């Protein structure tokens, strides 16, 4: 029986483990092992909602051990640190709890086929001060830190304004990068500041005292969307009172400001860096060829170009479409399609002459807060061949929520997805719109 090890249980890796477990593990046609450094999974596109307090990560997380038990794969908790490709063994580091005590010892896992699905980390592009003074949204804990810092700052500044110690106290949030993550976060934060004020958590006037600014090097926001849609989205952000500064890159970041290369200084109490991603450090420790963003180079069947028994999917990989030469973007829909593809080919005994993966871009949807989204749908969903159809408003918002439901469907099946949707809907009706502490 062959052993297939999947390193990283994110949007791609967990779906792959679930599909392979159901397909091969259940009938004992292969041993499927998933390794992740965290005990729980959350779908990464939800992280801006965790950061804004709109979403409680505990409600949406998946316990890897439970998923493994239900879907016939094994889960190993620990960080993959290196791979011995000659011996076909991966090293998994020991796991420690919050008290510093060892929970799981380090261990070695043998594989016949290995799938690397480590995701990506924030790319600071070497900008001085960016890594030291910016927060990021790479994990649930970082999103939670951001949220707690925002709430604490709003409370502190409100008290200073009330006591007269700082009569014009403000909270300045600067988001670097106007891709989907930066724009979605800015829109959510606007609503968070208002919701916190409504529940008397802070004494600031959210419209006047909580300043949210997006700084973008490109000439416009949301480069993945059509120019008119991006203009509409920018107008909508401005109507919320969000400042949008395009056309100048960040030159340096300090503890209290973001300096752009046009000489502007944007005061900042919290800087959130959302300007790009790169492969995590572990990619450089595997002896595999990488691109300049430290992503692992893979061929048409998603095998790494240096080792046909090692595959890579999702944000940690670099796959160039053999038909039109386009680079597959670091998106959840790409990780999902790659997981579906590998689930159908990894059961084969050999690694030669595997079919080729073909990426289909189904478009992009960007959320602009609780009630609005914009985007373009292409292909089957858009029903317009490859031209795409523009959607916005409530329809786009509903379709945006469906993207997550699709992920839940892939992990848990239809009945659980419906039950979860109803329970989340009820919870949203009963709980405050954002976390208040
Ligand atoms: C705020 C935000 C919003 C986004 N919005 C969208 C969107 O609207 N649409 C869209 O298509 N995409 C979106 N994305 C991008 C999308 O989340 C990623 O493209 C997708 O999650 C990539 O999937 P992945 O499986 O490659 O990696 P991930 O989902 O990042 O998972 C990687 C996994 O690997 C684990 N891991 C990492 N290193 C190790 C190690 N050394 N050992 C063990 N485990 C390890 C991590 O714990 C994690 O579980 C968004 C991303 C962010 C941050």
- 3-state SS assignment for residue 412: helix
**Residue 395: which residues within 8 A CB-CB, separation 6 or more?**
none
Residue 197 CA to ligand 1 center (angstroms) comes to: 32
Question: 206-256 pLDDT, tens per residue?
Answer: 999 999 999 999 999 998 888 888 888 899 999 999 999 999 999 999 999
The pLDDT confidence band at residue 394, using thresholds 50, 70 and 90, is confident
The pLDDT confidence band at residue 150, using thresholds 50, 70 and 90, is very high
How many angstroms separate the CA atoms of 302 and 311, rounded?
A: 6
Residue 401 CA to ligand 1 center (angstroms) comes to: 18
Residue 239 CA to ligand 1 center (angstroms) comes to: 31
Judged against a pLDDT cut of 60, whether residue 264 lies above it is answered with yes
Residue 26 CA to ligand 1 center (angstroms) comes to: 27
* Domains of the chain, each with CATH number or no CATH: 2-45+53-120+279-345 (3.50.50.60), 130-273 (3.50.50.60), 363-430 (no CATH)
What is the pLDDT averaged over residues 165-182? 95
Judged against a pLDDT cut of 60, whether residue 286 lies above it is answered with yes
Counting Cβ atoms within 10 Å, is residue 236 exposed (0-12), middle (13-18) or buried (19+)? middle
pLDDT for the residue numbered 385: 46
What is the pLDDT averaged over residues 39-64? 95
Asked if residues 375 and 392 have their Cβ atoms less than 8 Å apart, the reply is yes
Please report where in the chains the tokens 């908790």 appear, as a residue: 77
The pLDDT confidence band at residue 307, using thresholds 50, 70 and 90, is very high
Whose Cα sits closest to atom 31 in ligand 1?
A: 10
Answer yes or no: is the C-beta of 279 below 6 A from any ligand 1 atom.
no
Judged against a pLDDT cut of 80, whether residue 308 lies above it is answered with yes
Asked if residues 267 and 274 have their Cβ atoms less than 8 Å apart, the reply is no
Give the residue among 369, 364, 332 at the shortest CA–CA distance from 183: 369
pLDDT for the residue numbered 384: 44
What is the pLDDT averaged over residues 331-341? 96
Answer yes or no: is the C-beta of 118 below 6 A from any ligand 1 atom.
yes
Residue 232 CA to ligand 1 center (angstroms) comes to: 28
DSSP 22: I
Please compute, for residue 316, the number of CA atoms within 13 A of its CA located in the half-sphere on the CB side. Answer: 26
Q: Which atom of ligand 1 is nearest to the CA of 12?
A: 25
How many angstroms separate the CA atoms of 76 and 86, rounded?
A: 22
pLDDT for the residue numbered 228: 84
Q: What share of the chain is helix, strand, coil (3-state, %, to 5)?
A: 35, 25, 40
How many angstroms separate the CA atoms of 290 and 410, rounded?
A: 30
The pLDDT confidence band at residue 379, using thresholds 50, 70 and 90, is low
**Residue 240: which residues within 8 A CB-CB, separation 6 or more?**
187, 190, 369
pLDDT for the residue numbered 281: 96
What is the pLDDT averaged over residues 111-126? 97
Answer yes or no: is the C-beta of 137 below 6 A from any ligand 1 atom.
yes
Question: 70-102 pLDDT, tens per residue?
Answer: 999 999 999 999 999 999 999 999 988 878 888
Would you tell me the crossing angle of helices 227-239 and 180-198 to the nearest 10 degrees? 20
How many angstroms separate the CA atoms of 57 and 77, rounded?
A: 19
The pLDDT confidence band at residue 387, using thresholds 50, 70 and 90, is low
Answer yes or no: is the C-beta of 181 below 6 A from any ligand 1 atom.
yes
Whose Cα sits closest to atom 51 in ligand 1?
A: 45
Question: 417-435 pLDDT, tens per residue?
Answer: 999 999 999 988 898 888 8
200 in the Ramachandran plot: left (φ > 0), alpha (ψ -120 to 50) or beta?
Answer: left
pLDDT for the residue numbered 388: 62
**Residue 142: which residues within 8 A CB-CB, separation 6 or more?**
47, 135, 136
The pLDDT confidence band at residue 268, using thresholds 50, 70 and 90, is very high
Judged against a pLDDT cut of 90, whether residue 437 lies above it is answered with no
Answer yes or no: is the C-beta of 331 below 6 A from any ligand 1 atom.
yes
What is the pLDDT averaged over residues 367-391? 67
What is the pLDDT averaged over residues 10-32? 96
pLDDT for the residue numbered 291: 95
How many angstroms separate the CA atoms of 154 and 200, rounded?
A: 11
**Chain mean pLDDT for the chain:** 92
The pLDDT confidence band at residue 321, using thresholds 50, 70 and 90, is confident
Instruction: Give 370 or 270, the one with higher predicted confidence.
Output: 270
Asked if residues 68 and 13 have their Cβ atoms less than 8 Å apart, the reply is no
Residue 38 CA to ligand 1 center (angstroms) comes to: 13
DSSP 323: T
Judged against a pLDDT cut of 80, whether residue 29 lies above it is answered with yes
pLDDT for the residue numbered 381: 47
Instruction: Give 384 or 144, the one with higher predicted confidence.
Output: 144
Instruction: Give 131 or 348, the one with higher predicted confidence.
Output: 131
High-pLDDT (> 70) share of the chain, %? 97
Whose Cα sits closest to atom 15 in ligand 1?
A: 331
Judged against a pLDDT cut of 70, whether residue 386 lies above it is answered with no
């Amino acid at each position: 029986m062959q052993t297939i090890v999947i390193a990283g249980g994110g949007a791609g890796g967990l779906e792959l483990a679930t599909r392979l477990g159901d397909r091969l593990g259940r009938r004992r046609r292969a041993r499927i092992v998933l390794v992740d450094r965290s005990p729980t999974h959350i779908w990464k596109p939800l992280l801006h909602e965790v950061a804004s307090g709109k979403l409680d990560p505990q409600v949406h997380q998946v316990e890897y051990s439970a998923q493994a038990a239900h879907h016939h794969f094994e889960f190993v908790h620990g960080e993959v640190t290196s791979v011995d490709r000659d011996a076909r063994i991966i090293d998994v580091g020991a796991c420690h709890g919050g008290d510093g005590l060892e929970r799981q010892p380090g261990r070695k896992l043998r594989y016949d086929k290995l799938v690397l699905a480590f995701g990506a980390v924030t790319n600071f592009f070497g900008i001085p001060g960016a890594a030291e003074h910016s927060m990021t949204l790479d994990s649930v804990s970082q999103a939670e830190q951001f949220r707690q810092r925002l709430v604490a700052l709003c409370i502190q500044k409100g008290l200073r304004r009330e006591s007269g110690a700082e009569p014009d106290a403000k909270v300045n949030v600067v988001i670097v990068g106007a891709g989907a993550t930066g724009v979605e976060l800015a829109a959510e934060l606007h609503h968070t500041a208002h919701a916190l004020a409504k529940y008397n958590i802070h004494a600031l006037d959210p419209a006047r005292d909580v300043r949210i600014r997006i700084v973008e090097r490109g000439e416009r926001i949301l480069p993945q969307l059509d120019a008119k849609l991006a203009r509409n989205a920018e107008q909508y952000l401005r109507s919320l009172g969000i400042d949008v500064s395009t056309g100048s890159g960040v030159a340096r970041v300090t503890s209290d400001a973001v300096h752009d290369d046009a000489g502007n200084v944007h005061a900042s109490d919290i800087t959130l860096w959302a300007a790009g991603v790169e492969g995590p450090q572990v990619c450089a420790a595997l002896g595999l060829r990488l691109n300049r963003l430290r992503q692992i180079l893979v061929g048409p069947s998603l095998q790494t170009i240096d080792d046909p028994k090692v595959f890579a999917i999702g944000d940690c990989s670099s796959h160039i479409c053999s038909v039109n030469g386009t680079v597959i973007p670091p998106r959840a829909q790409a990780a999902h399609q790659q997981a579906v593809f590998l689930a159908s080919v990894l059961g084969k005994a050999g690694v030669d002459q595997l079919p080729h993966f073909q990426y289909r871009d189904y478009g992009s949807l960007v959320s602009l807060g609780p009630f609005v989204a914009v985007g373009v749908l292409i292909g089957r969903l858009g029903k317009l061949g490859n031209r795409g159809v523009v959607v916005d408003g409530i329809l786009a918002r509903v379709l945006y929520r469906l993207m997550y439901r699709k992920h839940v469907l892939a992990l848990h099946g239809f009945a659980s997805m419906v039950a979860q949707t109803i329970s989340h809907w009820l919870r949203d009706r009963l709980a405050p719109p954002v976390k208040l502490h």
